[in-house]
């Protein structure tokens, strides 16, 4: 447990990947709206889609959000399918109605869905036209969150990517943090970097439209989430340089992530040690307390959020778990390669044929199974202990102060199972 920070041989970067296709149990990219709309306070997300899209967002968010959501769906009807010119007019009308009702909106995202992609509604053109109509008050951008193009967290990637081309140009040498994090975690990252003397630091996405970061050839950026590949490419096209590192989960991941930035910005070893020593010790202590019961236990990841590889790295190296299978919706080695270098795992799988994967899971009988909401209760009913993956996206889990909580998310289902004295039917 709590092995020291150094890269060992035996990572899985070069191991063969089991690639599957078949039925998937994963959300589509529209779901990213659920956290993005709370993160960007003056943005509104308008899905151009079907009743299914509206129902999906409601099912994913409706149980949690008791505030007026800053998202909606322009539901396509029969007549919209008849002719596309009509669809654009209809969209203009709905957007005008929306902006009239919500004058606080400064950024409007038109979000493409499966049906709008299939009938090829040109949302790029619509966004340009609507920007002209509603400028300068509102900027209209577009991206696709469709399930034929994206899975779950890829929606955030598509959204952030759509913002990159309109970020103002700068020549300043700045650090850009990329990814939507809970405010409390973002603040912790900023204060750690500030203590290291790294700066100026900007964040994409910013909380408000007028706070959006600038970007240019001297921008160095670090990703906060392992699913932001397209955004990273877009930033590179603007001349920015990526700082590669494992993702900041757990004490080790956080330290390596910070170290990569510190190296880039010339922070001396003494300063790094002074700033990180105390939080590192705290994180190790918290992990030790929270991960009690995880040591020696096996874990199986169904693909869900793209967080699987970095999390498996954390659980195997810092909590003493054994990873039987780590599945991810897709694997971008350019992003999760550094994590893969440190991960020992039985099988790495990409994509999904859910029935085949369920067969493997049942055969392996893992102590803990990480899966989406559609599978969690059925697997519990079969006697497996599960961690529903969505909490990993909706709970603050990054950086030192959350490392204990992160371990706790995984140990809680096991502790719970041990506590309950009644047998479920």
Partner 1 sequence: MKLTVWTYEGPPHVGAMRVATCMNGLHYVLHAPQGDTYADLLFTMIERRNHRPPVTYTTFQARDLGSDTAHLFKDACQDAYDRFKPEAIIVGASCTAELIQDDPGGLAETMGLDIPVIPLELPSYQRKENFGADETFFQIVRALAKPCDRTKRLSCNILGPTALGFRHRDDIEELTGLLSELDIDVNVVAPYGANPSQIARLGAAHFNVMLYPETAESACRWLEREFDQPFTKVVPIGVGATRDFITEVIGLTGRAACVDESRLRLPWYSASVDSTYLTGKRVFLFGDATHVKAAARIARDEMGFEVVGMGCYNREFARDIRALAKEYGVTALITDDYLEVEAAIEELAPEMILGTQMERHIGKRLGIPCAVISAPVHVQDFPARYSPQVGFEGANVIFDTWVHPLVMGLEEHLLHMFRDDFEFHDDAGASHHGGKAVERVEATADQAPAQVQADDQVVVWLADAERELKKIPFFVRGKARKNTEKFACEKGVTEISVDTLYEAKAHYAR
**φ/ψ (deg, to 5) at 101:** -75, -30
Q: Applying CB under 8 A, does 397 fall inside the site for partner 1?
A: no
**Is residue 413 a contact point for partner 1 (CB under 8 A)?**
no
Radius of gyration of the chain (CA): 22
Among left, alpha and beta (phi > 0; psi -120 to 50; other), residue 22 is left
Are residues 198 and 261 in contact, defined by beta-carbon separation less than 8 angstroms?
A: yes
Q: Which stretch binds partner 1 (CB under 8 A): 109-117, 195-203, 268-276, 289-297?
A: 109-117
Q: Please state, in angstroms and rounded to a whole number, the distance separating the CA atoms of residues 343 and 250.
A: 14
Q: Among 381, 394, 416, 418, which residue sits at the site for partner 1 (rule: CB under 8 A)?
A: 381
**Residue 359: CB partners within 8 Å, gap ≥ 6?**
none
Distance, in Å, from the CA atom of 343 to the CA atom of 347, rounded to the nearest integer, reads: 11
148 touches partner 1 by CB under 8 A: yes
Q: 114 a known binding residue?
A: yes
According to the binding rule CB under 8 A, does residue 74 interact with partner 1? yes
Task: Please give the span between the terminal C-alpha atoms of the chain, in angstroms, as a whole number.
Answer: 36
Q: Is 161 in the site for partner 1 (CB under 8 A)?
A: no
Window 277 to 316, contacts with partner 1 (CB under 8 A): none
Query: Which token pair is 173?
Result: 């040498």
Under the binding rule (CB under 8 A), the answer on residue 377 touching partner 1 is yes
H-state helical runs in 109-228: 114-118, 123-134, 154-163, 183-196
Q: How far apart are CA 329 and CA 155, in angstroms?
A: 13
- 78, burial (CB in 10 Å: exposed 0-12, middle 13-18, buried 19+): exposed
| Binding status of residue 241 toward partner 1 by CB under 8 A | no
Please, which residue, 29 or 179, has the CB nearer to partner 1? 29
For the bound state, the minimum distance from the C-beta of residue 73 to partner 1, rounded and expressed in Å, comes to: 5
Give the one residue of 12, 33, 36, 50 binding partner 1; rule: CB under 8 A.
50
338 makes contact with partner 1 (CB under 8 A): no
Which residue in 6, 9, 16, 63 binds partner 1 (CB under 8 A)? 63
Please report, for residues 42, 110, 131, 143, 277, the alpha-carbon distance to residue 207 in angstroms, rounded to integers and kept in the order given: 8, 18, 20, 19, 30
**Residue 23 contacts partner 1 per CB under 8 A:** yes
Q: Which of 3, 8, 81, 172 binds partner 1 (CB under 8 A)?
A: 81
Judged by CB under 8 A, the residue of 110, 139, 141, 151 near partner 1 is 151
Helix (H, G, I), strand (E, B) or coil at 132: helix
How distant, in Å, are the alpha carbons of 32, 77, 113 from that of 28?
A: 8, 21, 9
Q: Tell whether residue 105 is a contact of partner 1 (CB under 8 A).
A: no
Spatial separation of the C-alpha atoms in residues 96 and 195, rounded to whole Å: 46
Residues 82-101 that bind partner 1 (CB under 8 A): 87, 90-91, 93-94, 97-98
Annotation-wise, does 361 bind a ligand?
no
Question: Does 416 contact partner 1 by CB under 8 A?
Answer: no
Query: What's the token pair of residue 371?
Result: 């899966």
Strand 139-144, strand 345-352: pairing:
unpaired
Query: Does position 62 bind partner 1 by CB under 8 A?
Result: yes
The reply to whether 118 sits near partner 1 by the rule CB under 8 A is: yes
319 annotated among ligand-binding-site residues: no
| 48 binds partner 1, rule: CB under 8 A | yes
Q: How many residues bind partner 1 (CB under 8 A)?
A: 66
Contact footprint for partner 1 (CB under 8 A): 21-31, 46, 48, 50-52, 54-56, 58-60, 62-63, 66-69, 71-78, 80-81, 87, 90-91, 93-94, 97-98, 114-115, 117-119, 146-149, 151, 355, 372-378, 380-381, 425
Known binding-site positions for [4Fe-4S] cluster? 28, 53, 114
Known binding-site positions? 28, 53, 114
């Amino acid at each position: 447990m709590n092995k020291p920070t150094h890269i060992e041989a035996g990572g899985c970067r070069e191991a063969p990947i089991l690639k599957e296709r078949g039925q998937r149990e994963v959300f589509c990219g529209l779901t990213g709206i659920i956290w993005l709309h709370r993160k960007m306070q003056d943005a509104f997300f308008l899905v151009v889609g079907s009743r299914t899209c509206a129902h999906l967002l409601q099912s994913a968010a409706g149980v949690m959000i008791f505030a007026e959501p800053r998202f909606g769906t322009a539901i396509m009807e029969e007549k919209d399918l008849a002719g596309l010119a009509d669809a654009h007019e209809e969209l203009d009308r709905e957007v005008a109605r929306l902006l009239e009702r919500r004058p606080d909106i400064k950024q409007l995202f038109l979000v493409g869905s499966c049906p709008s992609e299939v009938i090829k509604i040109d949302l790029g053109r619509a966004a340009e036209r609507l920007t002209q109509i509603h400028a300068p008050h509102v900027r209209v951008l577009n991206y696709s969150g469709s399930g034929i193009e994206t899975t779950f967290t890829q929606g955030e990637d598509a959204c952030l990517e759509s913002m990159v081309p309109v970020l103002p140009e700068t020549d300043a040498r700045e650090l850009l943090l990329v990814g939507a994090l809970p405010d409390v975690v973002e603040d912790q990252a900023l204060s750690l970097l500030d203590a290291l003397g790294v700066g100026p630091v900007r964040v994409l996405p910013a909380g408000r439209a007028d706070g959006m970061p600038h970007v240019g050839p001297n921008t160095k950026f670090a990703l906060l989430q392992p699913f932001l590949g397209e955004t990273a490419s877009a930033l590179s096209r603007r001349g920015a340089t990526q700082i590669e590192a494992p993702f900041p989960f757990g004490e080790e991941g956080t330290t390596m992530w910070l170290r990569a930035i510190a190296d880039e910005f010339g922070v001396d070893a003494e300063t790094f040690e002074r700033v990180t020593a105390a939080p590192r010790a705290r994180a190790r202590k918290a992990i030790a307390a929270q991960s009690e019961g995880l040591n020696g236990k096996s874990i199986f990841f169904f693909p869900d959020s793209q967080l699987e590889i970095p999390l498996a790295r954390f659980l195997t190296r810092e909590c003493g778990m054994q990873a039987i299978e780590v599945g991810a919706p897709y694997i971008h080695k350019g992003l999760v390669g550094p994590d893969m270098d440190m991960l020992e795992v039985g099988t790495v799988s990409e994509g999904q044929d859910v029935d085949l994967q369920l067969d493997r899971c049942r055969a392996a009988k893992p102590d803990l199974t990480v899966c989406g909401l559609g599978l969690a209760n059925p697997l519990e009913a079969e006697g497996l202990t599960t961690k529903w993956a969505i909490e990993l996206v909706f709970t603050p889990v990054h950086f030192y102060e959350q490392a204990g909580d992160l371990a706790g998310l995984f140990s809680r289902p096991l502790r719970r199972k041990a506590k309950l004295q009644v047998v479920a039917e």
